[in-house]
Amino acid sequence: MLQLEKISKRFGGLPALEDVSFHVPRGQVTALIGPNGAGKSTLINCISGVLQPTEGQVSFAGRQITGQPAHQIARFGIARTFQNLKLFPRLTVLDNVLTGMTCEGGRSMCMAMLRLPYLRHRERRLRLRAMEALDRFDLTEKANWPAEVLAYGDKKRVELARATVGNPQLILLDEPVAGLNAEETSAVGDQLRRLRLAGYTLLLVEHDMDLVMEIADKVVVLDSGRCIATGTPDEVRRNPLVLEAYLGRMDATA
Amino acid sequence: MNGRQKILYFLYLHRTGLAVTALSLTLLVYPLFQDNPYNLGLSNLIAIHAIVVLGLNLFVGYAGQISLGHAAFFGLGAYGSAIGCVTLGLPPWPTMLAVALLVALVALLIGVPALRLSGHYLAMATLGCNIVVHTVMLQWDEVTGGPSGFSGIPPLAFGSFAFDDEVSFHYLVWSFALISLLLCLNLVRSGVGRGLAALAGDETAAEALGVDTRRAKVKVFVLSAAMASLAGSLFAHCYGFVSPDSFGIFTSADMVIMVVIGGMGSVWGSLFGAGFITLLPEWMDVFEAYKDFVHGGILVLVLMFLPQGLITGLLEQIKIKVALRRRKDAAA
Ligand SMILES: Nc1ncnc2c1ncn2[C@@H]1O[C@H](COP(=O)(O)OP(=O)(O)OP(=O)(O)O)[C@@H](O)[C@H]1O
Ligand SMILES: [Mg+2]
């Protein structure tokens, strides 16, 4: 589905990613793990077009997407969340989720200004779908609240709702449960499992090992910008390189 | 749902349409109660300003950009219509349309490079354009009439019916203003409008959701310039006279202040802002000489305490208070 080939990214000479290659299979959950500063968010940014890789190629569903602008990549069907939440604080929760379907809302400004009946119907359908998504994430009562007053956990869920509501083909999740308490984490875990059952393809960046080991089909380990291991959760867990470079250090800090 | 709730829900569901209808009806009967030409003239000026401010507010409040040069587009529209109708002897309506298209083209040519800039740089670039346009109006005597202005612009007309007194202006300019209002309301309630709101909120996030931010900014800029140009043409035909004084950088600043008073991204607020700043000198004769200071002071105060603009800022504060209270209730 998504194929990365020798992705390198340097920030003014400092390498953040070096020759990262792996494949995200369709309909599976691929987890991307690694210690802080390993380059996980940078990689997500390179895939989604927020950053351009210095070298290497990304292809998605058989199409080269390297060098395409971010909005174009979004239109190919890749949605994402951000590690440091990027909600629109002034919009309501419902409108925030509706922005997740921008690609389906029509592009023509003239048509929008005339608000022809077909657009009105479409708008009503989108609204229903957004309400459904809010319902799934248990946010229905808060639909009309401005997003900025939500608690952190709710904001995370709104972002997840926004990323999934447009039925994207691939969802890039940058630490969806970071900062959540145990209860919220398990609720988000349920959502991720549900997405997986529904056949979505996920690329999940996460520090929560229990969650990763439980729902991932495939794990990719980054360390200092290099891909040091790929495999099933069990293989990775037993890989001595990973134990040394990653889990050992995690234990020391945890 | 009982009957009362049903009615309330109906009102809520159709609030925009109902509000526009109510406003239209009020404006329809307004001249019956108000026959003082001076007051009608003021309300006509509000309508003309409102058209510019509606467009500018889309650009400032929705596309999240800043322009200190909209008086230039306003002035190009006015001078375009004047030169087209008088010097070239073209019919007024088509001239108005052609001038708006030309101004849109000019905005496109300015917008594509200028909108790569942001913040202060964009403000400076648009301000510079305004100064250039203003200087040309002042200096190019043979075409623009120079500092003494351009007079003898014919009124707009349908057949033998000419819009040449305050009452007929009233219906003309407010029709344009209401249509602009309606188009803007439609735009912001659409998927495209949400894309623009996203763009104003966070460009990276908007891109990731599929909004072509650069293109969207240019489109809104061009739209707002075309609206300013139409308002300028109306201005020229209504007063029959234009002079460079009306299109200087202080006019641009006033337009921005109208946006700020109404609130960034508030369509209804644009009407209020246009009305408030147009009427302000009427209420405070003393301040006539210090108009620019008063306006500047308002601008600084509002932006310091309510960066989203006066009306939207206040409304948002209330909304947040209410939501926070509900959040606390829910937690308790
Ligand atoms: N815009 C930037 N400019 C310069 N350096 C950057 C930039 N973004 C990231 N880096 C550097 O790249 C490296 C990788 O950062 P990245 O955010 O991708 O790590 P991460 O794996 O997501 O870490 P975390 O688990 O803390 O989120 C870090 O050393 C960081 O300092
Ligand atoms: Mg990160």
Tell me the β-bridge partners of A60: A2, A63
Interchain contact, A114 vs B223, CB within 8 Å = no
Of B204, B208, B320, the CB nearest to A146: B320
CATH of the domain at B64: 1.10.3470
Positive or negative: CA dihedral B26, B27, B28, B33: positive
**DSSP per-residue letters across B200-259:** HH-HHHHHHTT--HHHHHHHHHHHHHHHHHHHHHHHHHHHSEE-GGGGSHHHHHHHHHHH
Does B311 reside within a domain? no
Task: Please indicate whether residue A34, judged by its CB atom, sits closer than 6 Å to ligand 1.
Answer: yes
Of A48, A89, A105, the CB nearest to B192: A105
Q: How far is the CA of A178 from the centre of ligand 2 (A)?
A: 10
Which residues crowd ion ligand 2, with CB under 5 Å?
A: A 41, 83
How far is the C-alpha of A94 from the C-alpha of B189, rounded, in Å? 13
- Span A148-173, mean pLDDT? 92
Q: How confident is the model at residue A254 (pLDDT cuts 50, 70, 90)?
A: very low
Number of residues that make up chain B: 332
Mutate which of A42, A204, A208 for ligand 1? The one with the most ligand atoms within 8 Å of its CB, which is A42
**DSSP per-residue letters across B250-297:** HHHHHHHHHHHHH-TT-HHHHHHHHHHHHHHHHH-GGGGGGHHHHHHH
Question: Which residues in B200-234 are b (16+ Cβ under 10 Å) and which e?
Answer: bbbbebbbbbbbbbbebbbbbbbbbbbbbbbbbbb
Does B312 reside within a domain? no
The per-residue pLDDT for B286 is 65
Residues in B closer than 8 angstroms to A88, CB to CB, are 197-198, 201-202, 205
Residue B91's Cβ-count burial label (10 Å; 0-12, 13-18, 19+) is: exposed
The per-residue pLDDT for B1 is 67
Q: Which ligand is nearest to the CA of A16?
A: 1
Q: Does A116 touch chain B (CB under 8 A)?
A: no
For residue B280, give its domain range: 36-289
Phi-psi map region of A224: left, alpha, beta (phi>0 left; psi -120 to 50 alpha): left
Does B115 reside within a domain? yes
Q: How confident is the model at residue A252 (pLDDT cuts 50, 70, 90)?
A: very low
Chain A, 32 to 71: residues with Cβ < 8 Å from chain B are 48-50, 69-71
Phi-psi map region of A211: left, alpha, beta (phi>0 left; psi -120 to 50 alpha): alpha
**Strand, helix or coil for residue A58:** strand
Q: How confident is the model at residue A249 (pLDDT cuts 50, 70, 90)?
A: low
Does B25 reside within a domain? no
How far is the C-alpha of B12 from the C-alpha of B5, rounded, in Å? 10
How far is the C-alpha of B55 from the C-alpha of B220, rounded, in Å? 8
How far is the C-alpha of A35 from the C-alpha of B324, rounded, in Å? 37
**Strand A2-11 with A55-60, pairing:** antiparallel
Does B196 reside within a domain? yes
Residues of chain B with pLDDT under 50: none
pLDDT at A188 exceeding the cut of 70: yes
**Strand, helix or coil for residue A226:** strand
Q: How far is the CA of A39 from the centre of ligand 2 (A)?
A: 7
The one-letter amino acid code at A163 reads A
Number of A–B residue contacts, CB under 8 Å: 127
Q: A151 to each of A145, A156, A157, A187, how far by Cα in Å? A: 11, 9, 10, 15
The greatest distance separating any two alpha carbons of chain B, rounded to the nearest whole angstrom, comes to 75
B321: nearest CA partner in chain A = A149
Residue B139's Cβ-count burial label (10 Å; 0-12, 13-18, 19+) is: exposed
How far is the C-alpha of B184 from the C-alpha of B266, rounded, in Å? 10
Backbone phi, then psi, for A105, in 5-degree steps?
-80, 0
Does B278 reside within a domain? yes
Interchain contact, B186 vs A82, CB within 8 Å = no
CB B81 within 8 A of CB B237: yes
Q: How far is the CA of A40 from the centre of ligand 2 (A)?
A: 5
How far is the C-alpha of A212 from the C-alpha of A33, rounded, in Å? 9
Q: Name residue, tokens 């950009």.
A: B65
Of B189, B192, B197, the CB nearest to A88: B197
* Protein residue closest via CA to atom 11 of ligand 1: A16
Tokens of A99: 């922005």
A154: nearest CA partner in chain B = B327
Interchain contact, B327 vs A50, CB within 8 Å = no
CA dihedral (B314, B317, B318, B320) in degrees, to 10, reads 160
Backbone phi, then psi, for A232, in 5-degree steps?
-75, 160
On average, the pLDDT of chain A sits at 88
Of A91, A102, A119, the CB nearest to B210: A102
Q: Which ligand is nearest to the CA of A33?
A: 1
Q: How confident is the model at residue A49 (pLDDT cuts 50, 70, 90)?
A: very high
* Nearest in space to B255 (alpha carbons), one of B272, B240, B269, B273: B273
**How many CA atoms lie within 13 Å of A183's alpha carbon, on the beta-carbon side?**
2
Domain count, chain B: 1
Of B192, B316, B330, the CB nearest to A90: B316
Number of residues that make up chain A: 254
DSSP-based helix, strand, coil % in chain B, nearest 5: 80, 0, 15
The per-residue pLDDT for A250 is 53
Does B295 reside within a domain? no
Atom of ligand 1 lying closest to residue A42 CA: 18
How far is the C-alpha of B137 from the C-alpha of B143, rounded, in Å? 8
Interchain contact, A126 vs B201, CB within 8 Å = no
The per-residue pLDDT for B303 is 76
CB atoms closer than 10 angstroms to residue B117: 14
The per-residue pLDDT for B209 is 92
The per-residue pLDDT for A160 is 92
CA dihedral (A216, A50, A207, A9) in degrees, to 10, reads 100
Lowest mean pLDDT, pick from A122-126, A246-250, B46-50: A246-250
Atom of ligand 1 lying closest to residue A45 CA: 18
CB A202 within 8 A of CB A27: no
- Residue with the larger pLDDT of the pair A244 and A220: A220
A112: nearest CA partner in chain B = B187
Rounded to a whole number of angstroms, the distance from the CA of B295 to the nearest CA of chain A is 27
CB atoms closer than 10 angstroms to residue B114: 23
pLDDT at A253 exceeding the cut of 50: no
Task: Please indicate whether residue A152, judged by its CB atom, sits closer than 6 Å to ligand 1.
Answer: no
Does B24 reside within a domain? no
**Strand, helix or coil for residue B199:** helix
Q: Element (H or E) spanning A219, and its range?
A: strand A218-223
The per-residue pLDDT for A247 is 54
The per-residue pLDDT for A246 is 61
Interchain contact, B201 vs A90, CB within 8 Å = yes
